[in-house]
Amino acid sequence: MNDAAFLICAALTTAAAALCVTRKNPIYGAFYLLGFFLGLAGLFVLLAAPFVAAVQVIVYVGAILVLFLFVIMLLDYAGLGGEAGRSFAGTLPAALLAFLLLAGLGAAVYRNAGGDTRPPAPLTDASFGSTRTVAKHLYIEYPLALELVTLLLMAALVGAVVLTRRPGPERGSATPDKGQEEATHGSGGGST
């Protein structure tokens, strides 16, 4: 793996993730999420997993991010006054916790950085990330999990449709609308 390309992708991915969670406007956050997803796809390419990178772009950028933007627009963020009800009371403790976790991670990496200078052995075989391997795992080894995920997504889709449906006249209701009422009672001679 090319170290310079890895460092560039890792820096862009980390910066986009940090900017995504620190933006006040959720639309800007979603655009930084786009940068994060693309940087992650670049890391998958560097790991010699082009299929996983393509799925990352197609599924996360093409579907999930578009869904996020749709929900943001559906919630009408601008109509809510933008920052209404937003509290920053927990920002300092969260920032302190994040700093402590990052410092602990840095200490662990620094402690293990010295020592063996040999290049590490590859952790994966040549078929890692290939279409055949992914399909084998999805359709042969874990078909029940795949079907459960499809049922979960279908339930989420039905829930989204129910939640976004506008209230209006019920179909097949017992009370006819005004046009039907005039047509049945008419203005002229019917039987009395």
- The residue written with tokens 């020592």 in the block is 115
pLDDT value of position 43: 92
Rounded distance between C-alpha atoms, residue 27 and residue 9, angstroms? 23
Contact 67, 145 (CB under 8 A): no
**pTM for the whole structure:** 0.55
Asked if the model's pLDDT at residue 37 lies above 90, the reply is yes
List pLDDT tens digits, range 89-118. 667 787 888 888 888 888 887 777 665 556
Q: According to the 3-state scheme, what is the secondary structure of 112-139?
A: HHCCCCCCCCCCCCCCCCCHHHHHHHHH
From residue 151, give the alpha-carbon distance in Å to each of 76, 147, 157, 165: 29, 6, 10, 21
